[in-house]
């Protein structure tokens, strides 16, 4: 995976939720921003793939963004944000294999039909006969 962390920019803000006075006065929440179209680390095809797969995370200006506020320190949140954005981009670049349709073999078809026949006979034998 290419390390494009030099192209990332960061914004900090106050975290929400529980945490007492630490939350009220310290900006520990980190938002990482990355301009996908201006990246020098990826070719046009890869950029297109990233933009299509991560379109819900990319805003109108073309920035891929991610906010992390898991830790109590800004540095840990920044490291976590870098790690997560690298992971998300790496996953978006994976192209799944195309499925090749196959037909069931003759033996499989016969086995399935024999199983159905046996089950049918078993149920038929359960019926009450006078």
pLDDT in tens, 56-65: 988 888 888 8
Residue 14 lies in a domain: yes
Mind listing the pLDDT tens digit for each residue in 7-63?
A: 788 888 877 666 666 656 677 788 888 888 888 888 889 888 888 988 898 888 888
Measure Cα distances from 74 to 63, 79, 87 in Å: 21, 9, 20
Residue 24 lies in a domain: yes
Q: How many domains does the chain have?
A: 1
- Residue 125: what are its φ and ψ, rounded to 5°? -70, -20
Residue 104 lies in a domain: no
Residue 86 lies in a domain: yes
Measure Cα distances from 35 to 8, 39, 107 in Å: 8, 7, 55
Confidence of residue 107 (pLDDT cuts 50, 70, 90): very high
**Bridge partners, 71 (sequence order):** none
Confirm whether pTM is higher than 0.85: no
Domain enclosing residue 36, as ranges = 5-92
Residue 130 lies in a domain: no
Q: CATH no. for residue 76?
A: 3.30.160.20
């Amino acid at each position: 995976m290419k390390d494009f962390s030099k192209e990332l920019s960061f914004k900090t803000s106050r975290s929400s939720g529980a945490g007492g006075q630490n939350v009220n006065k310290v900006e520990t929440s980190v938002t990482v921003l990355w301009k996908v179209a201006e990246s020098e680390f990826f070719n046009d095809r890869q950029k297109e793939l990233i933009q299509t797969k991560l379109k819900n995370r990319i805003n109108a200006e073309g920035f891929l963004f991610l906010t992390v506020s898991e830790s109590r320190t800004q540095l840990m949140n920044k490291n976590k944000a870098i790690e997560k954005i690298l992971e998300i981009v790496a996953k978006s670049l994976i192209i799944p294999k195309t499925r090749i349709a196959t037909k069931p073999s003759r033996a499989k078809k016969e086995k399935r039909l024999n199983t159905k026949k046996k089950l049918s006979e078993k149920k038929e034998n359960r019926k009450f006969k006078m």
